[in-house]
Structure 1
Amino acid sequence: MKSVELGSQGLKVSQVGLGCMGMSTYIYGPSDDEQSLSTLRLATELGVTFFDTAETYGMGHNEQLLGRAFTGIRERVIVATKVGFGFTDDGKIKVVDGKRVVDGKPEHVVRAIEGSLRRLQMDYIDLIYLHRIDPTVPIEETIGAMSKLVAEGKIGHIGLSEAAADTIRRAHSVHPITAVQTEYSLFERGVEANGVLDTVHELGIGFVPYSPLGRGFLTGRLKTDALHETDFRKTDPRLSGENLLANARIVEAISGIAERKGVEPSQLALAWTIAQGCVPIPGTRRISFLKENIAAADIVLTQEELAELDEVAPIGIAAGERYTQANMAYVNK
């Protein structure tokens, strides 16, 4: 697996990373720790070095899982986690008036990072993202507090998740931002329209697309009627009703291009994000899908193929919002 620079602050990661959320939450159905540990360990053997987690994934369980998986091989992995949601005293996400609380107060973020260090069983964390932007706290204050932890050696790099272009600029003026993580795929190209992608390229910030396979839809294998009852995709606006029918035609077109090239639709979708200068973090807990995703790093797309993909999956083509209205409220705009 090829290593690449993520941003311009000296962080090197594998060309394709691994998103670990599904290993610890029920939003994609039940998971199994032993299966997940096998997948994580094999990933390191196959050259994956970049692993993405968050304190909210399984309410700390995912960080603990990665801590177990990487015992004895800490020097071989780059771990990125995310903080920034409020928690109750009993370890649950804090909810006020039916809404999850985003907490960017410096003292809370510092305390959260200390918690992540304990759960990961690590002396330092390579990359810490602010999971969501707290509109009640100036981003300069939050990043200022995080920068002190960089100086102390507790974290290596600072990142932002779902941040608007102006927020990225303001944060970067306080301390260099190494990476920005936002949903991005052939199915969701909003960052090309709202200035985020231009901003990170201008400032030398790495870009990490999450859900680069459109929550599994771009694999061409997703059967929405077979999803587990706890799977949040059952309420995904883009996978429901008329939106589902319209979006299926996009996947069909992408799948046709993949078939002509002799690759899986998922591999084509990942190769496309790499061609945009990004480091995708497709999530999986299955070894077969892990191997399939890793192989995408070796696929080279021609200019003609990229142009054809632009034609069948242009900016704004997907029908429906990428989240429910309630979840879109947490996206910084």
Structure 2
Amino acid sequence: MQYRTLAHTSVSAVGLGAMPLSIEHRPDETRAIATLHAALDAGVTLIDTADSYHWHAGEAGHNELLIARALARYGGDTSHVLVATKGGRGRPGDGSWTVDAGPDRLRRAAEDSARRLGLDAIGLYQLHKPDPAVPWAESVGALRELLDAGTIRAAGVSNVTTAQIREAHAILGDGLVSVQNRYSPAVRDSEPELRLAAELGLAFLPWSPLGGISRSSLDGPSGPTSHGTAFHRVAAAHGVSPQRVALAWLLARSPAVIPLPGASRPASVTDSAAAADLTLSGEELELLDAQ
């Protein structure tokens, strides 16, 4: 496993997005725990979650509690694992997502997340999404207060524009360490945010990094499939999955990138983690860039 810098420490170059383990169509707890343990076995030391990663009403924090149980049951050392969580969104249980990034709500949410995770201080706490009903400076100001209070050790922002990143950086200073936006082979409109994150020395954490790569191609009957996108063709040449190629391509975009692929079974997370050790040639990267 290769490593990159986040929150003034080293974490695995590929993290795990734990959301699929708690939302609709989630696996049973046995498989969910096995998936988290497979990530740790593969060298993953960054796990991404949120208090809103749950399915039914009344189970806020389901994913955080699941991760806490998985870490407690793991046989090895987990002291180096960074669990990054988020606040500012909600799920009423009808399949929808709400936004509530008011300062009071964020302060309570962070305290509740720390309790569920069993932490004295959250290693990385991210504002999940800007709330159009709350001035951005007020939401980010709540992160500043959480930093000052020691409730969180580092802060991040998610689903943001370059202007919002700059304002957050002005308020949080060195306390701001990450930007988490959607970025994948199919969705590349966060290029400006990626460039700015790298310029400011922030980690850029793509969510849904496998968008545009069919999951059906992960385990073809004769190995990786050779049809479809350039990612499939490069995968066939290397004898690996197109998902692994997509993550290796993301890693090559910038040293600031730490992708967060989701997984709901051990095989998927093991395959994703292996992307950190896949080297693509300059010609292959040009082909994938042009896809």
The interval holding the TM-score normalised by the smaller chain is 0.7 to 0.9
SS of 2:146 mapped into structure 1: helix
**1:108 alignment counterpart:** 105
**1:291 alignment counterpart:** 270
**1:68 alignment counterpart:** 69
**1:319 alignment counterpart:** none
- Between the aligned partners of 1:299 and 1:219, the Cα distance in structure 2 is 21
Q: Does 1:252 align with 2:229?
A: yes
Q: 1:69 to 1:308 in 2, by over 3 A?
A: same
- Between the aligned partners of 1:71 and 1:174, the Cα distance in structure 2 is 36
CA distances 1:178-227 after superposition (whole Å, capped 9, x unpaired): 111111111111112xx21222122111100111111762663599xxxx
Check conservation: 1:44, 1:76, Cα contact below 8 A: no
Check conservation: 1:85, 1:93, Cα contact below 8 A: no
- Between the aligned partners of 1:78 and 1:215, the Cα distance in structure 2 is 28
- Between the aligned partners of 1:264 and 1:42, the Cα distance in structure 2 is 18
SS of 2:206 mapped into structure 1: strand
Aligned residues: 274
Check conservation: 1:82, 1:129, Cα contact below 8 A: yes
Deviation at 1:99, TM superposition (A): 7.4
- Between the aligned partners of 2:261 and 2:228, the Cα distance in structure 1 is 17
- Between the aligned partners of 2:218 and 2:160, the Cα distance in structure 1 is 31
**1:128 alignment counterpart:** 125
Same amino acid, percent of matched pairs: 39
1:262-301 equivalences in 2 (<5 Å): 262-277=239-254, 278-301=257-280
Q: 1:250 to 1:11 in 2, by over 3 A?
A: farther
SS of 1:198 mapped into structure 2: helix
**2:57 alignment counterpart:** none
Deviation at 1:138, TM superposition (A): 2.1
Check conservation: 1:23, 1:62, Cα contact below 8 A: yes
Deviation at 1:298, TM superposition (A): 0.6
Which amino acid letter does the alignment assign opposite residue 67 of structure 2? L
Q: 1:62 to 1:99 in 2, by over 3 A?
A: closer
Deviation at 1:11, TM superposition (A): 3.2
Unmatched runs of 5 consecutive residues or more in structure 1: 87-91, 224-248, 314-333
- Between the aligned partners of 1:250 and 1:15, the Cα distance in structure 2 is 28
- Between the aligned partners of 2:268 and 2:237, the Cα distance in structure 1 is 21
**1:150 alignment counterpart:** 147
- Of stretches 62-71 and 143-152 in structure 1, the one that deviates more from structure 2 is 143-152
**1:208 alignment counterpart:** 205
**2:8 alignment counterpart:** 10
Q: Does 1:38 align with 2:37?
A: no
**1:246 alignment counterpart:** none
SS of 1:70 mapped into structure 2: helix
- Between the aligned partners of 2:133 and 2:193, the Cα distance in structure 1 is 21
- The alignment yields a C-alpha RMSD, in angstroms, of 2.4
Q: Which of the residues 32, 52, 56 maps onto 1:56?
A: 52
CA distances 1:291-325 after superposition (whole Å, capped 9, x unpaired): 111111111111111111122x2xxxxxxxxxxxx
Q: Which of the residues 196, 199, 205 maps onto 2:193?
A: 196
Which amino acid letter does the alignment assign opposite residue 85 of structure 1? R
CA distances 1:265-304 after superposition (whole Å, capped 9, x unpaired): 1110010011012101111121111211111111111111
Q: 1:266 to 1:160 in 2, by over 3 A?
A: same
SS of 2:178 mapped into structure 1: strand
- Between the aligned partners of 2:11 and 2:171, the Cα distance in structure 1 is 24
Deviation at 1:146, TM superposition (A): 1.4
Q: 1:214 to 1:75 in 2, by over 3 A?
A: same
TM-score (norm: length of structure 1): 0.76
Deviation at 1:152, TM superposition (A): 2.6
- Between the aligned partners of 1:307 and 1:213, the Cα distance in structure 2 is 18
